[in-house]
Structure 1
């Protein structure tokens, strides 16, 4: 499905962490269950001005953000003022031809754009599947051979609906738990629109798997730290948040993502939210 939320603050945190994971873990195979388009024409609206466009304004004043791989790739693609690169394009730019790719999306326009970008970058081992991403990724992994493959794979699961189920009854969270239990590298994105739901996917996934997990959760709050009911459609409403869950990554990767999350919260302190009030980002970490 085409992504209508590209370049918003949730994308900033997701892509900031994802690119760093790929740079540090260096997988030989990378898969996405819900890729979207390779890139989207940039919009200059309040959500993007708080999202990627604000990130570009504040990143270079903070060493860890300014030196991040995400910042470097945005610069490579022209500072995101003309178009915004999606997760698949960022992954291909970061890993290049050192990895093979499985990129899934049901939308034919998105699938065509992914193929065009992989060709433009000279990626020779890139399969774009216009099919259900979760089933396709599971089949792709089941076809793997050799005991070393688990540690060389990163799967990015970014579901449109985390609770919808496949024909065999599996939800996106069930798929994520299976990947974690089987030792695959996992990057799982989730969102929410109520403060009571902060870190909800981490707690749910913790009940489904015995594997080691790390979660970095970001929530927008007002300048006093208060948050009411949020709105995922308008992703900058206090009480709206999202998070990244990592499984089967090294300690250095966890520590780097935590440092980036803390730096992002610091850089956004005292921000003016799109509706005109002052706000900030609350960053929290859970791990086991």
Structure 2
């Protein structure tokens, strides 16, 4: 099944934050659990018009967002009718700084696409590609992680058990205990789903200390309580992080507020598409 999430509003926010984190943290090992492709061929779907196209248009004259690493990566890609996914962004930003890139994906073509980018930059010796489910595979790498590692956990269902019986939140918690830097993205389509995930996250993290936890969400104002309403890909999403520097956390907060601003009075298929920000852990 081809990936269709790229370039939509939630993807824009996630990658905007990720790029700044990579730039500030400069990890020696980068691990991504659900990598997908390094780049995609763009189309003019309503979701991408509201996502990457809207972002580039509004950012061009925005004094804050125009300085972002993400904008400087995606704007030239857009000219080539391409959207850079997280593997492409990470490799471009860290190619000279990172010793090892570890990517998981169940789609062989996605990993092949990453390999092609690595070969074009002559860094294929740094790339470790894993065509398998990351919930079981990442267990082999966690013991090797440290404060110089950054793990990007990007599934959707963070509370779904894998073969090992662990969830992606469990992986996040284990990484946090090892002092690894970690960014976990999750999504939801209703307020009831959001509340359930918030409870699950806060309960799971209750025993952690000294990990500098941070969690922020961007949510569509017209999100339904128990039924999805206007949904340009997803109605809301969160970024949960641990062990990041103050510079990274400040960038996440600042750019999240900027995203709220540039989506003021926007519309999607005749519906209001404004968003608001909510801090779950600060």
Same fold (TM over 0.5): yes
Which residue in the other structure is 1:184 paired with?
A: 180
Which residue in the other structure is 2:257 paired with?
A: 262
SS in 1 for 2:275: strand
Which residue in the other structure is 1:107 paired with?
A: 107
Report the TM-score when normalising by structure 2.
0.90
SS in 2 for 1:164: coil
Question: CA, structure 1 residues 201+31, in 2 after alignment: closer, same or farther (shift >3 Å)?
Answer: farther
Which residue in the other structure is 1:135 paired with?
A: 136
SS in 1 for 2:183: strand
For the 8 Å contact 1:19–1:69, the answer to whether it is kept is yes
Where do residues 244-259 of structure 1 align in structure 2 (5 Å cutoff)? 244-259=239-254
User: Unaligned regions of 5+ residues in structure 2, if any?
Assistant: none
Alignment: residue pair count: 275
Question: CA, structure 1 residues 253+200, in 2 after alignment: closer, same or farther (shift >3 Å)?
Answer: farther
Which residue in the other structure is 1:65 paired with?
A: 65
How large is the RMSD of aligned CA atoms in angstroms? 2.1
2: CA distance between counterparts of 1:37 and 1:156?
14
For the 8 Å contact 2:157–2:186, the answer to whether it is kept is no
Which residue in the other structure is 1:9 paired with?
A: 9
Instruction: Tell me the CA shift for residue 32 of structure 1.
Output: 0.5
Q: Which residue of 271, 276, 281 corresponds with 1:282?
A: 276
For the 8 Å contact 2:183–2:241, the answer to whether it is kept is yes
| 2:166 paired with 1:170 | yes
Which residue in the other structure is 1:42 paired with?
A: 42
Q: Which residue of 144, 147, 151 corresponds with 2:147?
A: 151
For the 8 Å contact 1:221–1:281, the answer to whether it is kept is yes
SS in 2 for 1:154: strand
Which residue in the other structure is 1:230 paired with?
A: 228
User: Unaligned regions of 5+ residues in structure 1, if any?
Assistant: none
SS in 2 for 1:62: coil
Where do residues 211-222 of structure 1 align in structure 2 (5 Å cutoff)? 211-222=211-222
Question: CA, structure 1 residues 130+56, in 2 after alignment: closer, same or farther (shift >3 Å)?
Answer: same
Question: Which of 191-200 and 82-91 deviates more?
Answer: 191-200
1: CA distance between counterparts of 2:130 and 2:32?
10
SS in 1 for 2:260: helix
Instruction: Tell me the CA shift for residue 182 of structure 1.
Output: 2.0
Report the TM-score when normalising by structure 1.
0.88
2: CA distance between counterparts of 1:116 and 1:208?
38
Question: CA, structure 1 residues 199+22, in 2 after alignment: closer, same or farther (shift >3 Å)?
Answer: farther
2: CA distance between counterparts of 1:175 and 1:75?
33
